[in-house]
């Protein structure tokens, strides 16, 4: 599929990872393109979605049902095959809440190194705000072949032990300020997901993920993003960065911003995040608004 | 849920549980979606006074709840009325609220308090919706019961 040549997107380090609503509207229904909706709410897709879009649910489909892990290569191949996604398909993800869950789904697809994955800039909110077409008709894609690809857990994913050896290098905590300081054990207005200690990983910068989103749910411009992550937080594109949140979903959004929009070369998402770290015996924790000593 | 326990459910709630268990997992989602569309809007006295409603923080999307209990001598027999507000972009949360509304609105305080706290497990939604999201349902019932207890104390 051709890339979107929208001038706003062209400013980003990897404009090929984003499409505008206009590009998507022009290209809907093209062979080789599958649009996938990923939402926090499991029913939202069913109330209406972009015509032809398939649904990928982060919770019930991308997670292994037993082990706390993502699906394996065989299951992933099945998820793609039944949605009409082959290895050379362009997959455009979009969803609710500033593409929060769409970015997560895109990150999981990236663990399997699916070559052409893109996000719809502005997500579901912008598409509907522009009065673009929605439908409740669920597509019935023709099944295609998808190879069983081994998941790569080294390049863009970090585990607890990786984070322990990473201490002292850049970490970005993308949760809310109250979760960062340790005042809250979960997101404001969200269920408690069982962390027995509050605070953050020592040395982590606090940059709530949604700071990267503009009012209309699109990503902020490259200059605005550079001002936050580079000037304000002092991160450099050559840094080895680990991002984390509570279960790794919000930090997928930040992973997308740092690696695809700002061109950082080594960014990993620690999906164990606070629900693992905050329950682990004898790992270091910092509380309060300061980054803390390693 | 045992037959014995199901008998403690008010009739319309028991019927809903049966509707859910009679169909397969994907039809359960469809049923939840239909229920979410049937959730009644708020009467004007709440629409203008949203701050008098209680937020169910355990739900993934904002849900507000109000409970009114009819006047009466016998606390256990007083009728319970439920009011919910949740945005259209939160259909799952609206569906949970609609289950409570369809199943419990108008029942007596004693019958509402007798609903087992884990009744929702019988709906068979954990596979289709995920256990995490289902926690919201437990919280709605707990908060309804608390308000009924306070109002009938």
Nearest Cα of chain A lies from the Cα of B104 at a distance, in angstroms, of: 23
A191 in B contact zone (CB under 8 Å): yes
Per-residue pLDDT of chain B (153 residues; tens, 9 = 90+): 555 555 689 999 999 999 999 998 889 999 999 999 999 999 988 877 777 888 877 666 778 999 999 999 998 999 999 999 998 889 999 999 999 999 999 999 999 999 998 899 999 998 888 777 788 888 899 999 999 999 998
Q: What CATH code would you report for B3-152?
A: 3.90.1010.10
A41 in B contact zone (CB under 8 Å): yes
Nearest Cα of chain B lies from the Cα of A99 at a distance, in angstroms, of: 14
Q: Give percent above pLDDT 90 in chain A.
A: 89
* pLDDT attached to residue A220: 98
pTM, full prediction: 0.90
Residues of chain B contacting A43 with CB distance shorter than 8 Å: 29, 32-33, 36, 91-92, 95
State the number of CA atoms in the 13 A half-sphere of B81 facing the CB.
Answer: 8
Q: Do B93 and A41 touch (CB under 8 A)?
A: yes
pLDDT, tens digit (0-9, with 9 covering 90-100), for A45-95: 999 999 999 999 988 899 998 999 999 999 999 999 999 999 999 999 999
Per the annotation, the verdict on A245 as an active-site residue is: yes
pLDDT, tens digit (0-9, with 9 covering 90-100), for B95-128: 999 999 999 999 999 999 999 988 999 999 988 8
The domain segmentation of chain B, as residue ranges, is 3-152
Task: Write out residues 42-71 of A within 8 Å (CB-CB) of B.
Answer: 42-44, 46-47, 59-60
pLDDT, tens digit (0-9, with 9 covering 90-100), for A173-232: 999 898 899 987 655 545 555 688 999 999 999 999 999 999 999 999 999 999 999 999
């Amino acid at each position: 599929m051709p890339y979107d040549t929208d001038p706003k997107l062209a400013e980003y380090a990897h404009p090929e990872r984003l499409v505008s609503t206009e590009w998507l509207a022009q290209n809907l229904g093209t062979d080789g393109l599958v649009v996938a909706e990923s939402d926090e709410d499991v029913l939202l897709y069913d109330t209406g979605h972009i015509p032809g879009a398939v649904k990928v649910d982060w919770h019930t489909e991308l997670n292994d049902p037993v082990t706390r892990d993502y699906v394996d290569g065989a299951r992933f191949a099945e998820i793609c095959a039944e949605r009409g996604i082959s290895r050379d398909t362009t997959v455009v993800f979009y969803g609710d809440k500033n593409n929060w869950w769409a970015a997560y789904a895109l990150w999981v697809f990236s663990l399997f190194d699916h070559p052409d994955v893109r996000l719809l800039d502005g997500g579901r909110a912008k598409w509907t705000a522009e009065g673009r077409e929605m439908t409740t008709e669920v597509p019935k894609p023709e099944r295609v072949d998808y190879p069983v690809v081994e998941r790569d857990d080294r390049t863009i994913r970090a585990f607890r032990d990786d984070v322990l050896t990473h201490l002292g290098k850049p970490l970005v905590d993308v949760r809310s300020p109250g979760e960062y300081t340790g005042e809250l054990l979960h997101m404001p207005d969200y269920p408690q997901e069982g962390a027995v200690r509050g605070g953050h990983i020592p040395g982590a910068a606090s940059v709530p993920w949604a700071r990267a989103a503009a009012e209309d749910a699109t990503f902020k411009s490259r200059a605005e993003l550079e001002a936050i992550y580079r000037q304000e937080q002092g991160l450099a594109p050559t840094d080895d960065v680990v991002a984390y949140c509570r279960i790794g979903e919000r930090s997928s959004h930040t992973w997308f911003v740092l690696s695809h929009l700002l061109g950082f070369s080594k960014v990993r998402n620690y999906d164990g995040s606070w629900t693992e770290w905050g329950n682990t015996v004898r790992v270091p924790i910092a509380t309060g608004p300061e980054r803390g000593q390693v | 849920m045992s037959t014995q326990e199901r008998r403690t459910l008010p009739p319309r709630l028991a019927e809903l549980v049966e509707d859910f268990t009679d169909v397969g997992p994907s039809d359960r989602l469809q049923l939840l979606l239909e229920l979410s569309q049937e959730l009644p809007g708020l009467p004007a006295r709440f629409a203008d006074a949203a701050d008098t409603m209680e937020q169910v923080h355990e739900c993934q999307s904002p849900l507000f709840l109000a409970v009114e209990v009819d006047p009466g001598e016998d606390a256990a027999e007083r009728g319970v009325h439920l009011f919910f507000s949740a945005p259209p972009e939160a259909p799952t949360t609206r569906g949970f609220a609609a289950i409570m509304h369809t199943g419990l609105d108008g029942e007596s305080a004693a019958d509402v308090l007798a609903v087992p706290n884990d009744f929702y497990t019988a709906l068979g939604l954990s596979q289709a919706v995920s256990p995490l999201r289902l926690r919201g349902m437990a919280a709605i019932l707990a908060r309804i019961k608390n308000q009924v207890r306070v109002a009938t104390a």
